[in-house]
Amino acid sequence: MAFKKKRSASAPVRPRARSGSAPEVRIPEADPVEADSVEADSVEADPVEVDPVGEVPPLRLWDVPQPAPLPGPASPRQPGETLTDADRRSVNYQRDLEFFQALWEVYYDGATGARDRSMSERMLYGLMSTDDPLQDADYLREPLGEGTIAALASLGLQTSRFSVFSQDDPDLLQAAAAGDYFHVANLQHPFDPARNARRARRLAVNVRSQETALTLAMGLTTLFGDAQVGPYFEKLKVFLSETPADSPVKTDKLMLYYLTAADAQDGGPDVVGDRLLTAINSLLPPGEGVMLTSPFYSRVATAVTWSEDAQHFMPGAEGMSFTDTRATLIREVLDTDEPMPNPEALAQAVFDVFEVAGVPWNQRHRHTIPDQH
């Protein structure tokens, strides 16, 4: 792991706390995105307003070496984006180093670096994936109106555009009351898992309110029938609840699952990902994006990150989420008695395990063929 720091690290990047409740949620009456008109160079934020998605902050704190080229198209990009791949690697590393700082403080003795066995490893997944409880616990405080999720499911079937099913509870109404991820699956172009061939990717979006999440989900479904995007846009999932709660949820309020286009060239543009990112940009109101994200994804905008879908790349990872796969590898380090004198040493140990498993340390959102030796 060869890198150098350019200047002293800044304070951790965190979104500012916001006060006030969100407006009442409703199913939008009209499609926010016209599926036939969302071109990569046509939907941009109003230049006189703050870009609702926003460019990645130029935090060039670290020089992370350029990784070796991998098969597949390049990272999704916003129209007119000026940040370089080196900028992205620097931003990603700074965020991940903040995660390793927190991880080290939880699981290692600050004075000796010895492993603190009093802390349960069951905390790890939440440490990697949950919103800041001090600043971002408002998402569930203003619930959706009763029947909103059932109305969403009914609309999908009436239009033959999408189907809706909950992730953890087969009863849609019970899931709506308890809060759950709701999968919104493309009915116009049913997904064929045999086509993934190491082409599966995901975009994660963090927002402040359920109203915004629902608006994004509704707008993005119009791309299911798009000739360019629809055949590769499998589904999205969105966390929604019709019951108020005073707790943070995962940072990925929405997750978009897609394949790169069949004619995508190695190192060329990710046309499908670019179009989806452009659509998010057109739908997300100013101030509604949240910067906090799970580690190891690659940031493409203030509120949006991307990764390859790990279950289609890593042997034995079928059915596992991206964060699950990284948490499993981190546990291999935690399960040893090797002392870690500081967060950087912990990061080095984890990156070594990543490399063996086929996760490049300097592009932790992607995958290579695992080391078989």
Average pLDDT over residues 341-358: 97
Average pLDDT over residues 145-165: 97
pLDDT band of 7, cuts 50, 70, 90? very low
Query: Does residue 221 fall inside a structural domain?
Result: yes
Over the stretch 185-212, which tens digit does the pLDDT of each residue have? 999 998 887 888 789 999 999 999 999 9
Which of the 8 DSSP states describes residue 328?
H
Mean pLDDT taken over the chain: 84
Query: Does residue 308 fall inside a structural domain?
Result: yes
- What span, in angstroms and rounded, lies between the C-alpha atoms of 217 and 213? 6
Query: Does residue 15 fall inside a structural domain?
Result: no
Which of the 8 DSSP states describes residue 366?
S
**pLDDT of 57 higher than 90:** no
Query: Does residue 129 fall inside a structural domain?
Result: yes
Query: Does residue 20 fall inside a structural domain?
Result: no
Query: Does residue 30 fall inside a structural domain?
Result: no
Structural domain total, the chain: 1
DSSP, residue by residue, 78-129: -TT----HHHHHHHHHHHHHHHHHHHHHHHB-TTT--B-TTS-TTHHHHHHH
**pLDDT of 31 higher than 80:** no
Average pLDDT over residues 285-298: 93
Note down the domain range covering 329. 37-63+73-357
Query: Does residue 245 fall inside a structural domain?
Result: yes
Beta-bridge partner residues of 180 = 240
Span of 54-58, 148-152, 325-329, 345-349 with lowest mean pLDDT: 54-58
Query: Does residue 9 fall inside a structural domain?
Result: no
